[in-house]
Amino acid sequence: MHMIRAAVAGASGYAGGEILRLLLSHPDVEIGAVTAKSSAGQLVGSVHPHLTPLAGRIVEDTTVETLAGHDAVFLALPHGHSAALAAELPEGTAVIDCGADFRLRDRRAWAAFYDTPYAGSWAYGMPELCVGADGKQRAALHGTRRIAVPGCYPTAASLALAPGFAGGLLAPEGVVIVAASGTSGAGKSLKPHLLGAEVMGAMSPYGVGGVHRHTPEIEQNLSGACGEAVLVSFTPTLAPMPRGILATCTAPLAEAAGVSAADVRAAWEKAYTDEPFVHLLPEGQWPSTASVLGSNSVHVQVALDERVGRVVAVSAVDNLTKGTAGAAVQCLNLATGLPETAGLAVAGVAP
């Protein structure tokens, strides 16, 4: 079988390094150019010491010329930097963008949350996302050559709640999501508030008041699941851990009368029974970020708070794996006709 030759742009960051880690174990992918801007000319081993098989490779400059000629190109670039580069790549190349540039379908939503020109939208790379009562986003990814990888928070929140909206159980207003993320979600650049002395032993909120950029993406996903506009109050928090997201998501029942805990669980079972990477945990067992570390899995649990008529869905995801790089590799597999699970781990690393 033809080996897919893949380049990784923005390889010096956390997401780029995670893509490289996963591709090293992929049976059908050969790693081509490894590129970055600020790290160009350095050895991969000096940027990512854990990537021993690539330690002697030189990080090249990110140019169209360097990336051309590959079967696939992963873009792990800052928001606003992917569009211009992608426009210069051949149409036949599978381009998987890990940034936000092509995630949103609504130009107005982009303008409200981002400060760069709207670049349009690509196929949205969350295969397991419920689309309507019986559809999944996976259908839009087979054979496509331009894919937008979801954000990490939207992955956790959307997969936690979408089955309830697809099943007609949840109301589109009054949705509240509070999610804790490890510090790697903020990227690799040095920032005072991410210093160990600031983070250890502390938790703090940020992006409070509906201003976090992932809010419209979560709303887009949940609206697509139920067929009408969903409004979300989203508050992220920073947790003293390197990686992982724990999202606690609640939404009111559309009609509280007659809906049982069994009805709620049945909707999530219907959505995820056959999914290789989304796991509805046994009743009474709750997600933990430690359980999904290094894996492409999402752990989900759901409960009905009958007293207030709200559903509580909790999910755990590794923000660097399923939250970014794992999703990108999963999308590459779908785009190129490979087994969807190729090169991706279901089991996490413990302890």
Q: Report the catalytic residues.
A: 152
Smallest Cα–Cα separation from 105: which of 117, 125, 122?
A: 122
Smallest Cα–Cα separation from 113: which of 239, 219, 214, 230?
A: 214
Which region holds residue 350: left if phi is over 0, alpha if psi is between -120 and 50, else beta?
beta
Give 243-288 as a DSSP string: S-EEEEEEEEBS--TT--HHHHHHHHHHHHTT-SSEEEPPTT----
Q: Checking DSSP bridges between strand 146-148 and strand 123-124, what pairing results, if any?
A: parallel
Eight-state DSSP code of residue 240: S
Asked if residues 120 and 313 have their Cβ atoms less than 8 Å apart, the reply is no
Longest dimension (CA), the chain: 64
Asked if residues 173 and 234 have their Cβ atoms less than 8 Å apart, the reply is no
**Helix (H) and strand (E) counts in the chain:** 10, 16
Q: Which two tokens stand for residue 181?
A: 């993320």
Give ∠ CA 267-131-266 in degrees, rounded to 5: 5
204-220: b (≥16 Cβ within 10 Å) or e: eeebeeeebbbbbbbbb
Asked if residues 157 and 247 have their Cβ atoms less than 8 Å apart, the reply is yes
Q: What are phi and psi of 213, to 5 degrees?
A: -65, -15
